[in-house]
Amino acid sequence: DFRMNIAIDGPAGAGKSTVARKVAEQLGYVYIDTGAMYRAVTLGAQRASITPDQPTMLAELVRSMKIELAPGKEGQSVFVNGEDVTLQIRSREVTLQVSHIAANETVREVLGQMQRNLAARKGVVMDGRDIGSNVLPEAELKIYLTATVKERALRRYREIEGSQNVTLEQLEKEIAERDNLDEQREISPLICASDAVVLDSTGMTIEEVIRAIVQLSRTKL
């Protein structure tokens, strides 16, 4: 009974989490949202008033956090030291700061190790920024899922419509800024692994993207 690991990386708002979750469901694999882990650390830092320019305190914080992922109704539930923070980690405050916290070396080391442990027994679909390039370089299938900034902003806008007071233009700017920070950071930046399959989902439906990835996974069996 052969199980593989699938890495899905790409810029913000490319649809990675929806796609990764559905692919995992279809294959009977475990879905792991690594962005949620960076968000959980960011929430913890904000609560403790630790800023990205305090690396020692940030390192201490991340080492003290017990982060757990559990399958939830919509995607994945996230627990920190037993508290359900699933909703809190999606706030605008967290979204605006997460890339700064994610640039910290110790944060990346600690979370990267947790992610490797979660994937050790295979059969995971993991989405993030550096999974194929850094966390799981041996993953049997690597996807780099992207779309134009405009398209990604529009999708995000439709998703949050009404719930948060933000314009499409503002979202586009914030997404581009987050991509830039993720691509430019020194340690394990967002990058397309040399052996990744690039999927540009602009103009594709979610179902088409899912089907393409499931088909690619069959070629690895």
99 binds ligand C5P, rule: CB under 6 A: yes
Give residue 185's Cα distance to chain centre: 16
201 binds ligand C5P, rule: CB under 6 A: no
Nearer to ligand C5P, 92 or 215 (CB): 92
Helix (H) or strand (E) holding 25: helix 16-27
Residues of each annotated binding site for ATP: 10-18
Among the candidate windows 68-76, 97-105, 149-157, 206-214, which touches ligand C5P by CB under 6 A? 97-105
In Å, what is the CA distance from 136 to each residue of 28, 110, 130, 164?
19, 14, 8, 35
Residue of 35, 52, 55, 123 that binds ligand C5P (CB under 6 A): 35
40 binds ligand C5P, rule: CB under 6 A: no
Residue of 34, 133, 146, 201 that binds ligand C5P (CB under 6 A): 34
Place of tokens 């947790």: 114
Q: How many residues bind ligand C5P (CB under 6 A)?
A: 14
Shortest separation between residue 69's beta carbon and ligand C5P, angstroms: 13
Shortest separation between residue 41's beta carbon and ligand C5P, angstroms: 9
Shortest separation between residue 23's beta carbon and ligand C5P, angstroms: 16
Characterize the bridge pairing of strands 141-146 and 124-128. Answer: unpaired
3-class SS of residue 95:
helix
Nearest C-alpha neighbor of 213 from the set 31, 1, 13: 31
Burial 101-139 (b: 16+ CB within 10 A, else e): bbbbeebbebbbebbeebbeeebbbbbbbbbbbbbbeeb
For residue 96, the 8-state DSSP code is: H
Residues of each annotated binding site: 10-18
**Which string of x and - marks every residue 128-167 that binds ligand C5P (by CB under 6 A)?**
xxxx------------------------------------
Which residues of this chain interact with ligand C5P, rule CB under 6 A?
12, 34-35, 38-39, 98-99, 102, 128-131, 178, 182
